[in-house]
Amino acid sequence: MIPAKLRYTVRKLFENSGFEEYQNNRKSGSLNVRALPTMAHNDRLFKRRKEHDGIDSAVTIVLDVSGSMFKNKDPLTSKMYHAILTTYALLDTLSKAGVTTSVVTFGCEVSLLKDFNTPYQRVKPLLESITAGGGTNDSTALQYAHGMLLTRTEERKVCFFISDGIGDSDGCKQQALIGENLGITTIGVGIRNDVRHIYRNAVYIDNLSDLGTVAFDKLKLAA
């Protein structure tokens, strides 16, 4: 269960002023010059700006499901377990804040787990059934995620890349820069492997219990 206060905070981070208009006939505010001809019999000569805020963001979460994410025999202490919990928490919070979301997974193959139109609640059983295994096709996954985001009309485009960072570092670094030039913010979350040399916006997680907290803190980078 994600606290309402956290959902509100995330919403404020992703808010974008869509348009603005003015309320006329006010007793205070900015002077409305169009009302000056009526000043002899009218004391409402001012106007106030009224802003309309709206969520104008799309977020794709890319989740590493390769074999290195599930080396621990105890699933409750594996990197995969904590990564799945964090992914669903992000989906829950972002979706309830009005942000459009999708999820991509990768091991040997890149798969679309959730498109932008699928309700996030349908993803929970799919996440719970993930079994990590195989290689790490990370640069292809990042390219795929960026391609999805580029089809969106939202002004702000963000990619969360949750991985243990074992793979094609050079390819990911190049693709992250390409995405940045196209207006996509990529946030690398390295689980027990430092990815700060790959992504301009990145964080290193050593204590798995900190993964969720740090991921939400990094939402500020996308604001």
pLDDT digits (tens, 9 = 90+) for 146-201: 999 999 999 889 999 999 877 899 999 999 999 999 999 998 888 888 888 999 88
> What are 196-223's pLDDT values in tens digits?
899 988 887 766 555 555 555 655 545 5
Residue with tokens 């993803």: 123
Residue 205 φ/ψ, nearest 5 degrees:
-115, 120
> What are 51-65's pLDDT values in tens digits?
445 578 899 999 999
Q: Going from the N-terminus, what domains does the chain have, and what CATH number goes with each?
A: 17-54 (no CATH), 56-222 (3.40.50.410)
Share of the chain above pLDDT 70, in %: 65
Q: Give the torsion through C-alpha atoms of 91, 95, 100, 102, to 10 deg.
A: 20
> What are 78-137's pLDDT values in tens digits?
788 878 888 888 888 888 878 899 999 999 999 999 999 999 999 989 988 887 778 889
Determine the 3-state secondary structure of 166 from DSSP.
coil
CA dist., res. 39 & res. 121, Å (int): 57
Q: What is the pLDDT of residue 178?
A: 96
CA dist., res. 195 & res. 189, Å (int): 7
pTM metric for this prediction: 0.74
> For residue 113, what is the enclosing H or E element?
strand 110-114
- C-beta of residue 87 within 8 angstroms of C-beta of residue 101: no
- Kindly indicate the confidence band of residue 20, based on its pLDDT and cuts at 50, 70 and 90: very low
Q: What is the pLDDT of residue 215?
A: 58
Q: What is the pLDDT of residue 32?
A: 58
- C-beta of residue 41 within 8 angstroms of C-beta of residue 49: no
Q: What is the pLDDT of residue 55?
A: 72
Determine the 3-state secondary structure of 221 from DSSP.
helix
∠ CA 220-65-192, rounded to 5°: 60
